[in-house]
Amino acid sequence: MVMVIVQTSYAGMNILYKLAADDGMNLAVLVAYRLLSAAAFVLPLAFFFERNNRPKLTSMVLIQAFSLWLIWSHAQPHS
CA dihedral of 60, 74, 36, 2, whole degrees rounded to 10: -80
- pLDDT at site 78: 63
Give the burial string for 55-67 (b: 16+ CB within 10 Å, else e).
eeeeeeeeeeeee
Stretch (H or E) spanning 63: helix 59-75
Q: pTM score, two decimals?
A: 0.53
Task: For residue 14, give its domain range.
Answer: 2-75
- pLDDT at site 79: 53
* Structural domain count, the chain: 1
**How many helices (DSSP H) and strands (DSSP E) are in the chain?**
3, 0
User: pLDDT per position in the chain (79 positions), as tens?
Assistant: 999 999 999 999 899 889 988 999 898 898 898 889 989 999 999 888 888 887 788 999 999 999 999 998 877 776 5
- pLDDT at site 46: 87
Q: How far apart are CA 71 and CA 27, in angstroms?
A: 26
